Amino acid sequence: MRSIAALVACASLLITVPSCGTSSEGPGTSAGGADASTLRVGLAYDIGGRGDHSWNDFAASGLDDAKKNLGLGKSKEVEGIAGETDQHKEDRLRSLAASGYNPVIALGYAYSAPMKKVARQFPRTRFAVVDDDSVTAPNVTNLMFADEEGAFLVGAAAALKTRTGNVGFVGGVVAPVVKRFEAGYRQGVAYVNPHITVQTRYLTRPPDLTGFNDPAKGKAAADAMYAAGADVVYQGAGGSGAGVFEAAKEHQAWAIGADSDQAVTAAPDVRPYILTSMMKKVNVAVYDYLADTVDGTVRPGPVVYDLALGGVDYATGGGHIKDIQPKLEQLKQEIIHHKVKVVLD
């Protein structure tokens, strides 16, 4: 493992794989590494693709950095579309593998069922799936994040900044990964002040995944929360978060972003209303995975990026949390050293 984060993961035994030494020959591994210039990397985005100002863009950044720093060869990027079925995702992954792209990285738990089928059909192709640990195969690596830890910190930020004692959470789709966002956020709010009200709204339920790419729905949900007294709303809704930011601007209230530092990446007119963001560094995970592929140290199974590894964090790009940053840093260290525990139901 080449990155500092990955090395720390090995030392901390947070990577739930057999060892961190040189890999042995077998499906999905390479004993002597690979010539980076010959690798053909396939990247299958979630809905929104490159340009979503959120986690798809972070994944793209990881690929771009790997191409620049590792000298990777050809890559192909494909993205999901609203309303697509598992069959569409399956066909997308199969097309990449059949065309010789290896490794193939898929973004999002929605690729779970398609990945299970395609990974079996292409046992000599390495695959990685982000945010899903249900796919277990000798050629699949699960890139996971302790989303609840980062969400705890932005929940604490919301509680420290609210003046009304009323905050909100807008989730894109009712799904395990978004539930982790909500759980951590609620715990962070309650840790600071258990009397604060937390409103929650989800935009869609599976199999409808359009809640991740419907800014109008995101705005409507946030509008209702602000009208009901919230003055801080955290969005874990992908592209729909743009609507939450628009609502924050109209109500002259705070919003909290997700995945990237959206006070830097969102549309310029809404940036002043983004208090902070829960950083989910998919770029680090993608880069590490590609570096491990080159080094020949890729292993199947979950790799968990948490606060200790810098895989999740809170953002400071907007400059709006300088007054509370010492408290957030204290909480961050307490989580890292297990003095504060963030739990999932």
Q: List Cβ neighbours of 252 (8 Å cut-off, separation of 6 or more).
A: 273
**Number of helices (H), then strands (E), in the chain:** 11, 12
Per residue in 141-169, is it b (16+ CB within 10 Å) or e — as a string? bbbbbbbbbbbbbbbbbbbbbbeeebbbb
Q: List Cβ neighbours of 230 (8 Å cut-off, separation of 6 or more).
A: 164, 166, 167, 168, 197, 199, 253
pLDDT at 9: 38
pLDDT at 267: 94
pLDDT at 17: 33
Region for 301 from its dihedrals, namely left if φ exceeds 0, alpha if ψ lies in -120 to 50, beta otherwise: left
Q: What is the pLDDT of residues 247-272, one digit of tens each?
A: 999 999 999 999 889 999 999 999 99
pLDDT at 97: 98
Q: What is the pTM of this model?
A: 0.84
Q: What is the pLDDT of residues 93-127, one digit of tens each?
A: 999 999 999 999 999 998 999 999 999 999 999 99
Domains of the chain (ranges, CATH numbers): 4-145+282-305 (3.40.50.2300), 147-279+315-336 (3.40.50.2300)
pLDDT at 2: 54
- Parts of the chain with a pLDDT under 70: 1-33
Of 152, 60, 134, which is closest to residue 341 (Cα–Cα)?
152
From the number of C-beta atoms within 10 Å of its C-beta (0-12, 13-18, 19+), residue 50 rates as middle
Q: Please state, in angstroms and rounded to a whole number, the distance separating the CA atoms of residues 314 and 334.
A: 15
Q: What is the pLDDT of residues 303-343, one digit of tens each?
A: 999 999 999 999 999 999 999 999 999 999 999 999 999 99
Q: What is the CA radius of gyration of the chain?
A: 20
CB 277 within 8 A of CB 119: no
